[in-house]
Structure 1
Amino acid sequence: MRFKAVKDDIYPFIQYANNFTSPKNLNTILQNILIEAEADGVTLKATDMQVGFSGKLDVSVETTGVATVSGKKLLDIVKEIPDGSVIDFFFDGSKINISAGKSNFKLSTISHEIFPTMAEITPEYSLKIKSQLLLELIKKTSFCISTDASKIEYTGAHLAVYGNKLEVSAADFQRIATSSLMFDDEYANEFIINIPRKTVVELIKILDHDEYVEIDTDRKQIIFKIGTIQIYSKLIEKYIKSITKLFSNEFPLTAKLKRSEFLDVIKRVSAITSEVTHGVVLSFKDDSLTLYSLETEYGAGNETVEDYEYKGNPIDIIFNSKHMVEMINNIDTDYFILQMIGDRNPAVILPDGGDYKYLVVPISINRF
């Protein structure tokens, strides 16, 4: 096997592939990237048995062949080669020789015959949408995916299709995020799948590689095809059936807030909050909204929001400021609506326009 590639072309693919290896796994083949040189280009593959990557580059191949090498060491070597350099990769049957300018390296290999293959999918459902649209849906929701594995159904992004509507939702135990778009055509079958957090994180890095993304799933596995890149993933077979049900409640208390001002104020007030609760009190009155930090051993702080409209009875409600900041950061409109029921009930955050929304659970402690 022998081929040449410009560092700037192959390095991003090595980075992507390395993210799908399993460095801590005792099975060393899962730490490796498979390199397959064919007449029409070079394909890089990697997997940790739960998720997998395949990406094909259009490069000059002198001799075809297959080999696997340590993903981390290959990445470390290519990273340090100057940008714009032409790199010569040559597999001599036992080692891969990497040359660029005056630099020469030899990497040990493992037989490609024991490299695990990706499971084939017979699609039950298929979608094709613009990559940028899917990226926006995921970015507006993925930060709510739980990292607590005690309830596996919360550790992924729920992708649901209802007729001509695609909805992506995520939840931890204190927040829910949901975002949707409408298709021009209706899909005959409704379905819900739960995509693991790691898959979602890696997908975000790659979605801008092509205008469209094609999605095939059989409910147990999923493939995302983005140009010459494919991401394979097992699915979480448990999911939250009524993940957005709480949004349908009646919310009699409503505040309209300027996103930039509210974000600045809550960041300043939260600087002195408890590192455990991060609690900030929102004190709503007819003519003012004041944010207070819960008093701690460090002290306390408060600030009043000026750009403010409110309908309803006065209320003091306590939120985790880190959760609020993370949600408000993902709003891309000048204003948003905060809807509430009471100081112990979930509240809803609605951007002033747009097909996404957030739900946040207050902290159930007394202010004084």
Structure 2
Amino acid sequence: MKIRLERDVMADAVSWVARTLPNRPAVPILAGLMVRAEGDTVTMSGSDNETTGHITLTAQVDEPGQALVSGKLLADIAKSLPDKPVEITADASRMELVCGSARFTLQGLPVEEYPALPEMPGTTGTVAADVFAKAVAQVVVAAGRDELLPVFTGVRVEIDGDTLSLLATDRYRMALKEITWQPAATDLEATALVPAKVLNETARSMTAGDSVTVNLSSGATGDGLVGFEGHGTAGSRRMTTRLLDGEFPKVRHLMDIKATRSVRVRTDELMAAVRRVSLVAERNTSLRMEINEDDIALSAATGDQAQASEAIQALVTDHVDGDPSILAAGFNPHYLTDALGALDTPFVDFSFTAPGKPCLVMGLDSLEGEPEVDYRHVIMLMRLPN
């Protein structure tokens, strides 16, 4: 094999594929990154047996062929090369990279021992790349990170015709985003539980093109695959990953909160205040939001060592007659910051029902407008000390 690539193009491609490689491979051969050249394209691929990355680039191919080398080492070398074209030659035993006066030689791994990578499932539909990336980013903040509870580390993808829904929860908060997409069939209905970490990295890395193709296998949940494909100036990228097994909890009904009291404030003002006040919040204690007639007062403390408070003008509305049932609410400050950061609207609406009950957070374009229901974020309130 003998090929020639631009340094930045090569470094970006190798780095992207290397993310799929395991840090401690159970099978040593999985530490390898496969490079194949034919025609006028070079394909690089890698896998950890669960997730597979595959990128195709246009390149000068003088001699076709393939080679398998240590992916992590190749990635480190690629990003350290000078800003000059890279010439790569390889045979079954070694790979040589020449970039300007820099020269590296890597030992080859046995290509014949590399496992066959999964095929991309059939196309399920397409979605605008920027819309998809934004939607995923808004939802993954609510996904769990405890690998001992894998079902909570996933994002439930629900397909109902031209509506694509993304839902995540870690049991203490939930996020739901609904977007319009182009399904392969108008009557299509399907669900899949996709690892949140993989989905987030994939969505962020496929924004160079106009659209992302979603490819969902028709197999059982635990054995199925989901694939994503995007095209851009940096080549064609394909990612496949195994779906998570297990039943996702039924939490959609928690999104249909009927508020007894609502609070509306400027998103940026509240975000800044939460960050300031939470600086003194003791670990595992709540940020207190006291609701008054025309403002909210935030407060937190670390015992007698430090206290902080700040008031923000707000529009407070009671939706039932009589005394309001909720005068103050306790938030996990990190969860509240994540929820506010996921919004892309100038105002935010909090829907409260009763002390200790879930709170619904939605965005607003104007203080008097209707909430944007395509993105809903629910936070379980913390118990406040008496």
1:213 aligns with 2:212: yes
Structure 2: distance between partners of 1:147 and 1:184: 31
1:304 aligns with 2:311: yes
User: Structure 2 matches for 1:122-161, cutoff 5 A?
Assistant: 123=122, 126-161=124-159
Structure 2: distance between partners of 1:182 and 1:37: 38
Specify the code of the residue in structure 2 equivalent to 1:327.
A
SS in 2 for 1:209: coil
Specify the code of the residue in structure 2 equivalent to 1:2.
K
Q: Which residue of 1 aligns with 2:267?
A: 259
1:201–1:188 CA distance, 2 compared to 1 (3 A): same
Q: Which residue of 2 aligns with 1:41?
A: 41
How many positions carry a matched residue from both structures? 363
Structure 1: distance between partners of 2:356 and 2:242: 38
The normalised TM-score by structure 2 is: 0.90
1:37–1:184 CA distance, 2 compared to 1 (3 A): closer
CA contact (8 A) 1:281 1:294 kept: no
CA contact (8 A) 1:149 1:155 kept: yes
Question: Once the 2 structures are TM-superposed, how far is the Cα of residue 184 of structure 1 from its aligned partner?
Answer: 6.8
User: Structure 2 matches for 1:331-342, cutoff 5 A?
Assistant: 331-342=343-354
Q: Which residue of 1 aligns with 2:194?
A: 195
Unmatched 5+ residue regions in structure 1? none
Question: Once the 2 structures are TM-superposed, how far is the Cα of residue 189 of structure 1 from its aligned partner?
Answer: 3.0
Aligned counterpart in structure 2 of residue 287 of structure 1, from 282, 294, 304:
294
Structure 2: distance between partners of 1:249 and 1:205: 31
Structure 2: distance between partners of 1:121 and 1:329: 34
Structure 1: distance between partners of 2:63 and 2:238: 24
Aligned counterpart in structure 2 of residue 356 of structure 1, from 348, 362, 375:
375
SS in 2 for 1:49: coil
CA contact (8 A) 2:164 2:181 kept: yes
Deviates more, 1:316-325 or 1:281-290: 281-290
Q: Which residue of 2 aligns with 1:345?
A: 357
Question: Once the 2 structures are TM-superposed, how far is the Cα of residue 297 of structure 1 from its aligned partner?
Answer: 4.7
CA RMSD of aligned residues (A): 1.7
Deviates more, 1:286-295 or 1:156-165: 286-295
CA contact (8 A) 2:265 2:347 kept: yes
4+ runs deviating over 6 angstroms? none
Question: Once the 2 structures are TM-superposed, how far is the Cα of residue 275 of structure 1 from its aligned partner?
Answer: 2.2
Question: Once the 2 structures are TM-superposed, how far is the Cα of residue 78 of structure 1 from its aligned partner?
Answer: 1.3
Q: Which residue of 2 aligns with 1:222?
A: 226
CA offsets per residue over residues 225-282 of structure 1, 9 Å max, x none?
11221101100132425332101232211011110111111111101001233x2100
Deviates more, 1:339-348 or 1:294-303: 294-303
Q: Which residue of 1 aligns with 2:367?
A: none
CA contact (8 A) 2:67 2:91 kept: no
Structure 1: distance between partners of 2:181 and 2:102: 52
Structure 1: distance between partners of 2:238 and 2:165: 22
1:327–1:13 CA distance, 2 compared to 1 (3 A): same
Q: Which residue of 2 aligns with 1:98?
A: 97
1:86–1:322 CA distance, 2 compared to 1 (3 A): same
Question: Once the 2 structures are TM-superposed, how far is the Cα of residue 204 of structure 1 from its aligned partner?
Answer: 2.6
Question: Once the 2 structures are TM-superposed, how far is the Cα of residue 298 of structure 1 from its aligned partner?
Answer: 2.6
CA contact (8 A) 1:193 1:239 kept: no
The normalised TM-score by structure 1 is: 0.94
Specify the code of the residue in structure 2 equivalent to 1:195.
V
User: Structure 2 matches for 1:152-191, cutoff 5 A?
Assistant: 152-183=150-181, 187-191=186-190
Q: Which residue of 2 aligns with 1:236?
A: 244
